[in-house]
Amino acid sequence: MADQITLRGLRVFGHHGVHPEERANGQPFVIDVVLGVDTRPAARTDDLTQTVDYSLLATRVADAVSKDPVDLIETVAQRVADVCLEQPSVADVEVTIHKPEAPVGVQLDDVAVTIHRSRT
């Protein structure tokens, strides 16, 4: 069983979507990231460089979501996974992109896409 570092509920405003009003007006996105990391080296040494600096990672994820509008949240999820896997200690990642204000024509609480990516 792999160790995990989890960031939940990162809120970012973006302009992603297939509808013109989504691109023009933007909307909130909520991101959850679960990182597979062997935390033993950091625990042994008490050294931040041996694990993931989640403060820095949260900023990088927010930047990845807020920039360069795309049509699909699947694309945004892949972008976030790529940012996470740039961290040397991350073996795999689960990314969920929530789009709570998705214009689907009926009332709902959330639309989300979850992807799993690994180095292998």
Catalytic residues: 99
Q: How far apart are CA 92 and CA 4, in angstroms?
A: 10
* 106 DSSP 8-state letter: S
**Phi, psi of 89, rounded to the nearest 5 degrees:** -85, -5
**b/e 37-58 (16+ beta carbons within 10 angstroms → b):** bebeebeeeeeeebbbebeebe
The CA distance from 20 to 38, in Å, is 43
